[in-house]
Amino acid sequence: MAKKAIFDIHIEANGPMVHLKGEAGEVLMVPFKGSVKSELFNGIVEPCGVDTQIVNAANVRHMSARYMLTGTDRDGKEAHIYVENNGWFDDLTKTMPFHTVPTFYTDSAALAPYLHRNQFVGEGVDEADGLHIYFYEIGGQADA
Question: For position 112, which CATH number holds?
Answer: 2.40.160.20
Q: Strands 25-37, 41-56: parallel, antiparallel or unpaired by DSSP?
A: antiparallel
Going by C-alpha positions, the residue among 11, 1, 7 that lies closest to residue 127 is 11
Number of domains in the chain: 1
Q: What is the pLDDT of residues 102-140, one digit of tens each?
A: 999 999 999 999 999 879 999 999 999 999 999 999 975
Q: Residue 99 domain-assigned? A: yes
pLDDT in tens, 33-79: 999 999 999 999 999 999 999 999 888 889 999 999 999 999 999 99
Report the distance separating Cα 37 and Cα 39, nearest Å: 7
Residue 109 domain boundaries: 3-138
Residue 89: count of CB within 10 angstroms of its CB: 17
pTM higher than the cut 0.85:
yes
Tell me phi and psi for residue 11, to 5 degrees.
-100, 135
Cα 103 vs. chain centroid, distance in angstroms?
9
